[in-house]
Chain A
Amino acid sequence: SAVISQKPSRDICQRGTSLTIQCQVDSQVTMMFWYRQQPGQSLTLIATANQGSEATYESGFVIDKFPISRPNLTFSTLTVSNMSPEDSSIYLCSVLAGQGGNQPQHFGDGTRLSIL
């Protein structure tokens, strides 16, 4: 199974600042996913990051707030911009376990973000 490294593991930030989260996979993958888990809530998909094209954002999430980069098949970044306390969440990246059809996802350990 894919090994996913996510950095930072946690951070405390001031409101109005931005933070970039990195996700590194030990194998080449077509799609990478970014999720958010707010306290007591389910994992919510923010966007799908495809290499060589713009990320696809889910309803309620916009590129200006959550810009994503996908420079190659093993790496992606998610930036949380102009942060407010409502952005305090765990942010997770994931990849599909295999090719084609329904597949489980492998997740990184997440970035726990607190905004003061």
Chain B
Amino acid sequence: KAGVTQTPRYLIKTRGQQVTLSCSPISGHRSVSWYQQTPGQGLQFLFEYFSETQRNKGNFPGRFSGRQFSNSRSEMNVSTLELGDSALYLCASSPPGTANEKLFFGSGTQLSVL
């Protein structure tokens, strides 16, 4: 079974631009969560989607948004990029019926904002 796939693996953007990251969960997983990882802040929860609906949300500004498609694939978008948005963005999917007890993570998208 294929794991969680995130694309692209690396991104370089400049301040003010916007970016879209993609995540394909493990087949059969309907819950997708997004995290931001930085050396200083560790892992910060962004949001979670289930059946195309946002089910949980972290404490990030409205510039960070996401969506989920009917095939459970998810995208997150960051608009008006700031230098502080440079981070590793991790996507995780969770098997049904587990209430996100066990997350399967992708390798992440490394975003650099110049």
Partners in one complex: no
Instruction: Give chain A's interface residues, CB within 8 Å of chain B.
Output: none
